[in-house]
Amino acid sequence: MSTFLENQNWRYATKQFDATKKIAEADLNTLKEAVRLSASSYGLQPYKVVIIENPELREQLKGVAFGQTQITDASHLFIFANDTNTGAESVDNYINTISETRGVPTDALAGFSDMMKGAISRLPQEAKNNWTSKQTYLALGNLLNAAAELKIDATPMEGFNATAVNEILGFDKLGLNASVIATVGYRHDEDSTQHYKKVRKSNEELFITL
């Protein structure tokens, strides 16, 4: 745990990436696995994670992300896109996966399935989209933590035009919405923010014990 906390102190929201440094395939696979293993409500994972490497596409995305250079200079760009059509079909697919993975008959999972379908169906569309969007942040947290363990820099970003990103990537046709972005790579030596002291609330300010 001491190493984990040391790495959390090491990481920061990188403002300037070294465009010449790329993440090794083995490390990229580790990051992807960390995202895949993330917690989510019911374990449903109502989102997709799109990894953008294409430089022309990333240049387009930078234009709808206020020109932030991290979009093009980082080794990889992760876009977490929440599912806007989560419903009975999503639950059925999940139940089938549980059945195959654990060797459990789908009939034995009927109660769990009905509970999920009932809870989701009662949500208005806006609330449902808000819920699926929140799940992407759990996956984002795993990405940030795993990257820090590998001494890979990662910057979470909400500063982008989601509607424009959706249009560029064709997300609307896929039932997806760009929820949050993470740029991943290696800090540039000239990024002065890496030397800033980390600013966080004290334990007394942050925690309430009842």
* pLDDT (0 to 100) of residue 188: 98
Write the CATH number for 22.
Answer: 3.40.109.10
* pLDDT (0 to 100) of residue 43: 98
pLDDT, tens digit (0-9, with 9 covering 90-100), for 65-96: 999 999 999 999 999 999 999 999 999 999 99
In a domain, 162, yes or no: yes
Per-residue confidence band for 13, with pLDDT thresholds at 50, 70 and 90: very high
Q: Which domain holds residue 143?
A: 2-86+125-206
How many CB atoms are closer than 10 A to CB 204? 7
* pLDDT (0 to 100) of residue 2: 77
In a domain, 60, yes or no: yes
In a domain, 197, yes or no: yes
Mean residue pLDDT across the chain = 97
In a domain, 62, yes or no: yes
pLDDT, tens digit (0-9, with 9 covering 90-100), for 103-115: 999 999 999 999 9
**Is 90 exceeded by the pLDDT of residue 136?**
yes
* pLDDT (0 to 100) of residue 140: 98
In a domain, 59, yes or no: yes
Q: Average pLDDT in the 119-125 region?
A: 97
What is residue 8's DSSP assignment?
Answer: H
**Tally of domains within the chain:** 1
DSSP for 40-105, please give it.
Answer: -GGG---EEEEEE--HHHHHHHHHTTTT-THHHHSSEEEEEEEES--SHHHHHHHHHHHHHHHT--
d(CA 61, CA 78): 12
d(CA 200, CA 197): 10
Q: Average pLDDT in the 166-181 region?
A: 98
In a domain, 165, yes or no: yes
pLDDT, tens digit (0-9, with 9 covering 90-100), for 19-29: 999 999 999 99
Tell me what percent of the residues of the chain surpass a pLDDT of 70. Answer: 100
In a domain, 131, yes or no: yes
pLDDT, tens digit (0-9, with 9 covering 90-100), for 146-171: 999 999 999 999 999 999 999 999 99
In a domain, 118, yes or no: no
What is residue 107's DSSP assignment?
Answer: G
23 near 184, Cβ under 8 Å?
Answer: yes
**Is 80 exceeded by the pLDDT of residue 60?**
yes
- Rounded to whole angstroms, the maximal C-alpha distance in the chain is 59
